[in-house]
A = this chain, B = another copy of it.
Amino acid sequence: MADFIAQPPAPRIRLGMVGGGQGAFIGGVHRMAARLDGHFNLVAGALSSTPEKALASGQELGLAADRIYTSFEDMARRESERVDGIEAVSIVTPNHMHFAAAEAFLNRRVSVICDKPVTNTLTEAKRLHDIASRSGASFILTHNYSGYPMIRQAREMVANGELGAVRVVQAQYAQGWLSERVEQSGAKQAEWRTDPARAGAGGSIGDIGTHAYHLAAFVTGLKAESLAADLTTFVPGRTLDDNAHILLRYKGGARGMIWTSQVAVGKENDLRLAVHGEEGSLEWAQEDPNKLWHTPQAESTRLVTRGGPAAGESATRVTRIPAGHPEGYLEGFATIYSEAAAIIRARQNGVPVSPDVLAPTTEDGIAGVAFIEACVQSSQRDAAWVRL
């Protein structure tokens, strides 16, 4: 189990955070994920652009007074001047601020752990990729679902050929929380996610569709060649899509389908993936993440469990506790942080990153934004096929 978690975490990596002040959601998740395995110490933060809120948020987290900032530029500059300055920063703002913040830190060789989608436009995503490539620092995109052990397991099984050539990929990410116009009634998470200025061109496709799209690629290793998308906005007064039906054609002939919805009443985070190959199938659901269903051709379906007898090396590597004691979302998220730690330390130590380490990069970020833009373009052309 989880050797990489048992590796000496001391000394911890000094971490800063941009965004994530009081009232935010995902910032707290990043902090728990960063704490769980003990690889990071949060020591600085530009948690809010409102000074009082930045201060209160930082104090609550125990940050030293001189390391509570009100702008990321400030934090980037002053931390890079300290001997004990941050080595990495988590960017957990709304999408439109990712680019500038990431650029500021990368340019000062501070590694970046950034929420997805990476940027609001493909142009920015590509520029950020270039910046990161030249920076001498690392960039990790928190497509956190790829941290689930059973997703690693699925990826390994596909890569090992246990499914044969993949034919069909079915993915969905359905939520119901935007089935009414909650962005009008003070739901902060809904406000920015439904606002093109902050969320970008994609509504459900950006917020959750990119996760489904990334997961399908992560598990199957397939490259999407083209897509046809039918985006819908069901809730009156909303601008961005809150439901999308997307057809996919992969290089080599596999076909796929993604359904994203934020108006599916009763759905919490129903992210699912099914992969059907010539020799077998896999099915996985995020809300029950410790289980992977595997059917070899002409045999009974097996329940592959995290930590169980069929778990392979790549799943075991990111498993903290034995089978039957469920690991959840925070553990999967923490795995991305621990992978980030491994990447950052490898760079600091001048050694190559172990090939076992799997963490999404700016390339995944580019793919995600390209997916959003292609969906929008296709939908504007009545769901015509658009090349990726």
A263 with B167: in contact, given A230-B247, A300-B302 (CB under 8 Å)? Answer: yes
Contact residues of A between 232 and 253, Cβ < 8 Å to B: 232, 234, 243, 245, 247, 249, 253
A245 with B269: in contact, given A264-B281, A330-B327 (CB under 8 Å)? Answer: no
- Which segment of A44-52, A58-66, A115-123 sits at the interface? A58-66
Listed residue (A35, A267, A279, A301) with the most chain B CB atoms within 10 angstroms of its CB: A301
- Whether A74 is near chain B, meaning CB under 8 Å from some CB there, is no
Number of copies of chain A assembled together: 4
Assess the A264–B168 pair: CB atoms within 8 A.
yes
Q: Interface size of A by Cβ–Cβ distance < 8 Å?
A: 95
Contact residues of A between 1 and 27, Cβ < 8 Å to B: 5-6, 8-12, 25
Assess the B302–A301 pair: CB atoms within 8 A.
yes
Assess the A300–B309 pair: CB atoms within 8 A.
yes
- Which segment of A87-95, A192-200, A318-326, A360-368 sits at the interface? A318-326
- Whether A83 is near chain B, meaning CB under 8 Å from some CB there, is no
- Binary CB contact string for chain A from 166 to 195 against chain B (1 if under 8 A, 0 otherwise): 011010100110011000000000000000
Assess the B259–A170 pair: CB atoms within 8 A.
yes
Assess the A276–B265 pair: CB atoms within 8 A.
yes
- Whether A278 is near chain B, meaning CB under 8 Å from some CB there, is yes
**CB-based nearest B residue for A7:** B60
CA distance A234 to B250 in the complex (A): 13
| A20 smallest CB distance to B (angstroms) | 12
- Which segment of A106-114, A132-140, A287-295, A339-347 sits at the interface? A287-295
- Whether A31 is near chain B, meaning CB under 8 Å from some CB there, is yes
- Whether A304 is near chain B, meaning CB under 8 Å from some CB there, is yes
**CB-based nearest B residue for A228:** B383
- Whether A156 is near chain B, meaning CB under 8 Å from some CB there, is no
**CB-based nearest B residue for A12:** B62
* A168 surroundings in chain B (CB, below 8 A): 234, 243, 261, 263-264
- Whether A209 is near chain B, meaning CB under 8 Å from some CB there, is no
* A131 surroundings in chain B (CB, below 8 A): none
| A72 smallest CB distance to B (angstroms) | 22
A323 with B281: in contact, given A302-B300, A331-B328 (CB under 8 Å)? Answer: no
A266 with B295: in contact, given A328-B331, A330-B327 (CB under 8 Å)? Answer: yes
- Whether A202 is near chain B, meaning CB under 8 Å from some CB there, is no
**CB-based nearest B residue for A230:** B247
* A161 surroundings in chain B (CB, below 8 A): none
- Whether A124 is near chain B, meaning CB under 8 Å from some CB there, is no
* A61 surroundings in chain B (CB, below 8 A): 9-10, 38
| A239 smallest CB distance to B (angstroms) | 17
- Whether A298 is near chain B, meaning CB under 8 Å from some CB there, is yes
Assess the A62–B245 pair: CB atoms within 8 A.
no
CA distance A289 to B327 in the complex (A): 10
Assess the A326–B289 pair: CB atoms within 8 A.
yes
CA distance A234 to B234 in the complex (A): 35
7 A-B pairs with least C-beta separation: A268-B324, A10-B62, A266-B295, A269-B324, A328-B328, A325-B329, A326-B328
| 19 sample A-B contacts, Cβ–Cβ < 8 Å, listed by A number | A6-B28, A8-B59, A12-B62, A35-B38, A36-B330, A167-B263, A230-B247, A232-B255, A245-B256, A264-B276, A267-B281, A267-B324, A270-B324, A288-B326, A290-B328, A303-B303, A320-B330, A326-B326, A382-B385
